[in-house]
Amino acid sequence: MLLLFFASQSFAAEAIEVFVGEKRVAIPVVAFQGRQYLPLDQMAKALQARYQDLSGKKVRIWLRDSSFLLREGSPKVVRGEEGISLSASPLLLKSGWVVPIDLFSFLLREKYGEGVWWDKDNRCVMVGQGAYSVRTLRYRSYSDHTRVVVELTLPLDFSWREETDRVLLLLQKGCLSPTIKKKEIIDGGGGLIRVIEARQGPDFSEIELSGLNPQRAIKIFALKGPHRVVIDVYNKGDKVEETKPSREEKVETSTAAVQPSPLKLVIDPGHGGKDSGAVGPTGLKEKDVVLDIGLCLRDLVEKNLGMEVVMTRRDDTFIPLRERASIANTAKGDFFLSVHANASLRGKAEGFETFFLSYEASDSEAREAAIRENNVIEGEGVNPRSAADLKVILWDMAQNEYINESSRLAEIIQNGLDEVQKAGNRGIKTAPFYVLMGVAMPAVLVEVAFISNPEGERKLNDDAYRQTLCEALFRAISEFKGHFEKKMGMVRGTKSS
Amino acid sequence: MKTSHGRILTLLVLIGVLSATLAYQIWMRRTTLPLPPSPGPGLSSPSLEPKRSVRLFFASADEGSLQEEMREIKAGAVHEEAKMALLELIKGPGSELVSPLPPGIQLRQLYIDGQGIAYVDFGPALRDLHPGGSRAELLAVYSIVDTLAYNFDQVKRVKILIEGSEIETLAGHIDLRRPLKPRVDFDERS
């Protein structure tokens, strides 16, 4: 299905490419009345399927143990007693049968199950590819040097080249994990390295360290268990030979210095710009109410808690949902609060509720479904060509490790609001909120009140009431900060490595 | 002579076969599809259509959760039944329950894949006429998901599309990029 959706957005009827192992097969796409079709003979060849013309403008396709019956003029594919609906009917042209492009996607899945995915960027289908070989890329600054560690899944041949202000590491047959950041800019850390970049070549990976001090010394070596290549950058004059490879583990743990920095709260006022959010019976807009509460909360938190506050929007601007998580993650926020006002269908509902990401979006079944849906092979069987797709999934799973903390934050926020409102506590809930999905920190979404009922709208329009809500949220943030510092204090120093 | 005899024989055999076939067909029709007692003028015979009941999920009167209402639909192939169940859902409740869907929305297409995912394609009104608010959105999304998943064993998850395309959300809250599992209640760990 996804194959179809993507293809239907493209007007040019290009060929699609199928990679089966090392083999590449191109299938031309036939555009007809705005829909896209594939010639059956070529599709069957790519799938190693057989087919036979039957009388009455029907055709039967055999794939593995199943057979599929198609008829001209009917969008249904019949397998045994089961009928599957296609986006269009197959056509019998003079040149032979053409079938809707989604039949291909369906049959691919039938044949290869999970081991198949659709690479949107490159417009190709890949089947049964190998695993990536470069697992992670990390760095840490020490008192006298900065160490970059490239962790591998298997030993790779490598070489390097030094230039005035950069060094290039070439990993033969390297294949970058999609989780590796393509570009990392390092602030501080003695300024030995400014930028670390990772690039994927056709059959190699390249790691570039740039912005190096021309007066430096570099040491590159391989280690085992796990396989990794280590690059140490020293200021010239420091004794390079002091750190021997065998001492690496000891060095890494003993110098994990804690650098205290203020905690960062990300406030996300919902909607904005062209997206008004919910609108009250007399026209009060959710986007204005939540921005006002968000800005009030920012001021209180900055003034009183010594925290840094990052706003996903400071004014009436439209910020796409996807960007909100990105703003929070880029700012390396410590926790995330999305502020909304609720609406129901007939304006009957009232109260306040706080959501954190549902277990559904984080459970293993959902993860598998997500992977299946994005046509990406499961586990480590990832090819760089599908990296973009997989990255989306991994990014979306970012909340996984923060569920407990998010649930705690939701509880504290909900209790905070409960203290200032007499009634209407709807409790904490879970649901797959888009805005929370990619946030890599404890994150909740609070619906402070219903704007859709007249009384709720009247209250939200009152400055004093909004101030009350803002102060309640502030006290909750203050409480969570205490809890968070207590719990995370030990871990914090190692966060950026 | 020989050929003339042959022709007559062939003709006889042919006639025999034809009449046997005809008789067989008439017999078959009578035994397997007995004609219903002839209805009186102006009366139809709706009771003979096979039916099944489905559970439709509408918003509760306080708009806080989803509640079931039973409805009868014509029995048929799974995706036909699933379509009919959704059409009934769109029609709205017959009780004090509240319709979670905007009026006049169009169901365009429904497809159930081999992995138990139902892809349901709606016209743009489902998104464009949505009143906003996460409560209203949760009710709309899960009325569709639950109605399909709780009535049809083949449906494990539901993916909502608008005009054949994937959408991010209906009104800015619930992530529709992935198929959703059913749930009636939105409380934690429900």
Q: Of A463, A457, A452, A456, which is closest to residue A421 (Cα–Cα)?
A: A456
- Rounded CA-CA distance B190/B187 in Å is 6
- Rounded to an integer, the average pLDDT of B8-13 is 58
Chains A & B: contacts with CB separation below 8 Å: 148
Write down the pLDDT at residue B4: 55
In this prediction the pTM is: 0.56
User: Which residues of A28-95 form beta strands (DSSP E)?
Assistant: 30-32, 35-39, 50-54, 58-63, 66-71, 76-79, 82-85, 91-93
Q: Which of A277, A429, A451 sits opposite B186 (nearest CB)?
A: A429
CATH superfamily of A264-492: Zn-dependent exopeptidases (3.40.630.40)
* Chain A contact set for B59 (CB, 8 A): 344-345
Write down the pLDDT at residue A391: 44
Task: List C-alpha distances in Å: A416 to A20, A295, A402, A469, A478.
Answer: 57, 18, 21, 9, 10
* Chain A contact set for B132 (CB, 8 A): 276-279, 286, 343
pLDDT digits (tens, 9 = 90+) for B139-169: 999 999 999 999 999 999 999 999 988 899 9
Write down the pLDDT at residue B101: 95
What are the backbone angles phi and psi of residue A235, rounded to the nearest 5°? Answer: -75, 135
C-alpha torsion A441→A447→A448→A449, nearest 10: 180
* ipTM reported for the complex surpasses 0.85: no
Region at A113 (left for phi over 0; alpha for psi -120 to 50; beta for the rest): left
- Is residue B150 less than 8 Å (CB to CB) from chain A? no
- Rounded to an integer, the average pLDDT of B39-45 is 46
- Rounded CA-CA distance A423/A421 in Å is 6
Q: What 8-state DSSP symbol labels residue A33? A: T
In terms of DSSP bridges, do strands A352-357 and A425-431 run parallel, antiparallel, or are they unpaired? parallel
Residue with structure tokens 């899944």? A153
Q: What 8-state DSSP symbol labels residue A211? A: S
- Is residue B138 less than 8 Å (CB to CB) from chain A? yes
C-alpha torsion B97→B166→A2→A106, nearest 10: 20
CA diameter of chain B: 94
Domain boundaries, chain A: 2-127, 134-254, 264-492
* Chain A contact set for B172 (CB, 8 A): 270-271, 275, 277, 321, 434
- Rounded to an integer, the average pLDDT of B127-145 is 94
Burial of A210: CB neighbours in 10 Å, binned 0-12, 13-18, 19+ = middle
CATH superfamily of A2-127: Copper amine oxidase-like, N-terminal domain (3.30.457.10)
Nearest Cα residue in chain A from B103:
A345
Pick the CATH number of A134-254 from 3.40.50.620, 2.60.40.3500, 3.40.640.10, 2.30.40.10: 2.60.40.3500
Q: Which of A9, A321, A345 sits opposite B139 (nearest CB)?
A: A345
A38 to chain B, minimum CA–CA distance in Å?
A: 19
* Chain B contact set for A9 (CB, 8 A): 165
The string of DSSP codes covering B75-135 is --SHHHHHHHHHHHHHH--SSS-B--S-TT--EEEEEE-TTSEEEEEE-THHHHT----HH
* Chain A contact set for B175 (CB, 8 A): 361, 432-434, 437
Task: Print burial letters for A222-244: b (CB count within 10 Å at least 16), e (below 16).
Answer: ebeeebbbbbbbbeeeeeeeebe
Cα-Cα-Cα-Cα dihedral sign, residues A437, A439, A443, A448: negative
Q: Of B117, B143, B152, which is closest to residue A369 (Cα–Cα)?
A: B117
- Rounded CA-CA distance A230/B162 in Å is 50
Identify any residues that bridge with A269 across adjacent strands, giving them in sequence order. Answer: A339
A214 to chain B, minimum CA–CA distance in Å?
A: 48
Q: Which of A430, A434, A452 sits opposite B168 (nearest CB)?
A: A434
pLDDT digits (tens, 9 = 90+) for A118-165: 554 455 555 544 346 787 888 877 777 788 989 887 788 899 998 888
One-letter amino acid of A31: A
C-alpha torsion A307→A310→A314→A317, nearest 10: -160
Contact A349 B62 (CB under 8 A): yes
- Rounded to an integer, the average pLDDT of B107-135 is 92
Residue B65 has which token pair? 């959760």
One-letter amino acid of A398: A
- Rounded CA-CA distance A338/A327 in Å is 13
Identify any residues that bridge with A310 across adjacent strands, giving them in sequence order. Answer: A266
- Based on its alpha-carbon atoms, the radius of gyration of chain B, rounded to whole angstroms, reads 26
Nearest Cα residue in chain B from A76:
B111
Write down the pLDDT at residue A114: 44
Q: Which stretches of chain A score pLDDT less than 70? A: 1-14, 18-24, 109, 112-132, 178-179, 187-190, 202, 225, 237-260, 358-398, 400, 488-497
Nearest Cα residue in chain B from A451:
B133
- CB-based contact A36:A7 (threshold 8 Å): yes
Write down the pLDDT at residue A302: 95
